Amino acid sequence: MARSDWKRPDLEPLASNLRRIRMTVSYHGSHYSGWQKQSNAKAVAEIIEEKVKEMIDEDVLVVGSGRTDSGVHALGQVCHMDIANTRVKAEKFAPALNRLLPADIRILDSSEVDGTFHARFTTMARMYRYYYKRECDMTAFDEQLVAKVKQFPDLGLLNSYAHLLQGTHDFTTFTASGDICPSRYRDIYESYWRMETDRFGNELLTYTICGNAFLYKMVRSLVGSMMEFAHKQVSADEFAGILASLDRSRAGRTASACGLYLYRISYDPAEYAWFEGEGDE
């Protein structure tokens, strides 16, 4: 899909009396209803807005690169806020807010940007990672942070599925019913499974996916489906047929939120520019 077809809105100019502050945020998603502000539960963005108000006595709107659902974690969520305050240096927001925020939300860095940056609308790629451990290897430190499974399925079979996801596809099969996006097509730049180890040396089955954007619960549906199908020895050809069917009923189970992390956001137009060239061939 050409980037010109992403249909993003034009950026509004930054008001002359405002500064734009960019921040990278990590958070423990199990403790919140998601990133986006909710009417009946605490959300990560809402907590940050409250602490900014406490810090500089301004009501602000914190705009994230995208939403994460309830229970989903983030290592590299990116957001911005427009403020009138001129006294606080941009780099001071990270340490100052971390003194006010709960320990399960951390500002990793803060910097000043101009109006050409928008946390959501200038995003070039989003990377998610999912983590599984076997039940026998779970430690007291893994609860709500790693998904568990009795046994790992065949890694080669998992990667045969993952490879098929690369490219531009209609992901209707793996989209939850609550999604309201008019188009289900998404560009996937990276998709692979790997066996890694945690800090204690225990095996960790990881899935990495990077694309221009994702549909509602799409990543969790893909992960859960691939794990279920691999356990059942579903062939790669069958998986390709399920993807192409655009039939939600043919998807497998949806993986739990606790193993999913918003891992990294890219704003570099050159990083995946090769994909644009492939799409033109």
Q: Give the pLDDT of residue 39.
A: 74
Chain mean pLDDT for the chain? 95
- Using CA atoms, how far apart are residues 190 and 194, in angstroms rounded to an integer? 13
Number of domains in the chain: 2
Q: Give the pLDDT of residue 5.
A: 75
CATH number of the domain enclosing 42:
3.30.70.580
- Using CA atoms, how far apart are residues 39 and 109, in angstroms rounded to an integer? 28
Question: Coil, helix or strand for 234?
Answer: coil
- Using CA atoms, how far apart are residues 152 and 131, in angstroms rounded to an integer? 12
Q: Quick one: 71 and 153 in the same domain? A: no
CA dist 128 to 41, 49, 153, 229, Å?
24, 25, 21, 21
Residue pair 21/81 in contact by the 8 Å Cβ criterion: yes
Q: Quick one: 131 and 260 in the same domain? A: yes
Beta strand 203-211 pairing with 185-197 = antiparallel
Q: Give the pLDDT of residue 176.
A: 87
Final residue belonging to a domain, choices 90, 113, 136: 113
Q: Quick one: 100 and 189 in the same domain? A: no
Q: Quick one: 78 and 47 in the same domain? A: yes
Q: Quick one: 155 and 81 in the same domain? A: no
User: How many C-beta atoms surround the C-beta of residue 191 within 10 A?
Assistant: 20
Domain assignment of residue 237, yes or no = yes
- Using CA atoms, how far apart are residues 172 and 218, in angstroms rounded to an integer? 9
What's the domain range around 72?
A: 10-113
Q: Catalytic site residues?
A: 69
Which positions ≥6 away from 193 have C-beta within 8 Å? 155, 158, 159, 162, 205, 206, 207, 208, 226
- Using CA atoms, how far apart are residues 181 and 38, in angstroms rounded to an integer? 20
- Using CA atoms, how far apart are residues 42 and 196, in angstroms rounded to an integer? 33
The residue among 114, 130, 122 whose CA lies nearest residue 226 is 130
Q: Quick one: 156 and 202 in the same domain? A: yes
Q: Quick one: 145 and 220 in the same domain? A: yes
Q: And the tokens for 149?
A: 């499974």
Q: Quick one: 42 and 149 in the same domain? A: no
Q: And the tokens for 218?
A: 């799409």
Q: And the tokens for 97?
A: 């807010």
Q: Give the model confidence (pLDDT) of 228-246 as tens digits.
A: 999 999 999 999 999 999 9
Q: Find the distance separating the first CA and the last CA of the chain, reported in whole Å.
A: 12
- Using CA atoms, how far apart are residues 28 and 26, in angstroms rounded to an integer? 7
Residue pair 243/54 in contact by the 8 Å Cβ criterion: no
CATH number of the domain enclosing 137:
3.30.70.660
Q: Quick one: 93 and 146 in the same domain? A: no
Residue-by-residue pLDDT tens, the chain, 281 positions: 778 777 788 899 999 999 999 999 999 999 999 998 877 789 999 999 999 999 999 999 999 999 999 999 999 999 999 999 999 999 999 999 999 999 999 999 999 999 999 999 999 999 999 999 999 999 999 999 999 999 999 999 999 999 999 999 999 999 988 777 888 999 999 999 999 999 999 999 999 999 999 999 999 999 999 999 999 999 999 999 999 999 999 999 999 999 999 999 999 999 999 998 765 44
CA 154 to chain CA centroid, nearest Å: 26
- Using CA atoms, how far apart are residues 248 and 135, in angstroms rounded to an integer? 29
Domain assignment of residue 80, yes or no = yes
Residue pair 136/202 in contact by the 8 Å Cβ criterion: no
CA torsion sign, 162 to 165 to 166 to 171?
negative
Q: Quick one: 101 and 169 in the same domain? A: no
Domain assignment of residue 60, yes or no = yes
Q: Quick one: 80 and 23 in the same domain? A: yes
Q: Quick one: 103 and 230 in the same domain? A: no
Binding residues: 128
Beta strand 63-64 pairing with 125-134 = unpaired
Domain assignment of residue 68, yes or no = yes
Q: Give the pLDDT of residue 267.
A: 97
Q: Give the pLDDT of residue 152.
A: 98
Domain assignment of residue 22, yes or no = yes
Domain assignment of residue 206, yes or no = yes
Domain assignment of residue 5, yes or no = no
Final residue belonging to a domain, choices 74, 91, 113: 113
Domain assignment of residue 77, yes or no = yes
